[in-house]
Amino acid sequence: MTARNTVCIAIDGEAASGKSTLGRLLAGKLGYLYFDTGVMYRAVAWAALQRAIDIHDEQAVTELAAQINIQITPPGCDDGRHYSVFVDGVDVSWAIREPAVDKVVSIVAAYPGVRQVLKGHQRQIGLTHNVVMVGRDIGTEVMPDADLKIYLRAPVEERARRRYLELQARGEEVSYEEVLNSMRQRDYQDSHRAVAPLRAADDAIVIDTGHLSVEEMVTRALKIVRSKLGEHSSVTSCTDSPIR
């Protein structure tokens, strides 16, 4: 355990490996704050597209990340969302999940300046809340002192299938092949970027979710939490304040 008075559980992993689902359900069972850091990078990517900023202009995108106000709150409406995301007061909760954002978010997330800006906000949350923090570099970069680190992986074909069904359910017209190709490209970009490449922390517990149901995944994670954190896993912390 760290000297902090709060508990941080870091969940990292590949795209569509189940990070968000596990993080949300695990946080709910523990009474912790659930924080998906990926939405911050998506918010920056969305804002760049909306303002016609060249995604490949690293300086411009970094400046944008420092200028915009990203706010994350508990869900404000019952439309399937697990939280609401605002950029300068505009609700972009679903807009940041559109295919156009999917195609460029890895580029945005690879910029050192963008990561530095957002990392500060993310770490502050990790130091001040009992939190299940989800992302791709939480255990390695954002919260290397996290009390527990979990890394999720699954075959790319299975992850693409999950994302394809998710997009279909939202009415998006996209083929499985398009999603699979995009997923493979995302994997390559995430694992080969110069700054904070996607990888499991040395002390992370790896879970392959390829053949696990949601219930099985959560059950396995809960056993790990109870085993590693003991009485600390029963700490509860509720907050309705926005995440900034």
Residue 67 burial (CB count, 10 A): 10
**Residue 72 predicted with pLDDT over 90:** no
Residue 221 burial (CB count, 10 A): 25
Element (H, E) at 226: helix 214-229
What's the pLDDT tens digit per position in 198-243? Answer: 999 999 999 999 999 999 999 999 999 999 998 556 544 334 444 4
Task: Decide: 106 and 55 in contact? Cβ < 8 Å.
Answer: no
pTM of the model: 0.82
What's the pLDDT tens digit per position in 4-30? Answer: 689 999 999 999 999 999 999 999 999
Q: What is the CATH number of domain 8-234?
A: 3.40.50.300
**Residue 2 predicted with pLDDT over 60:** no
Domain locations along the chain: 8-234
Name the DSSP class of 6: S
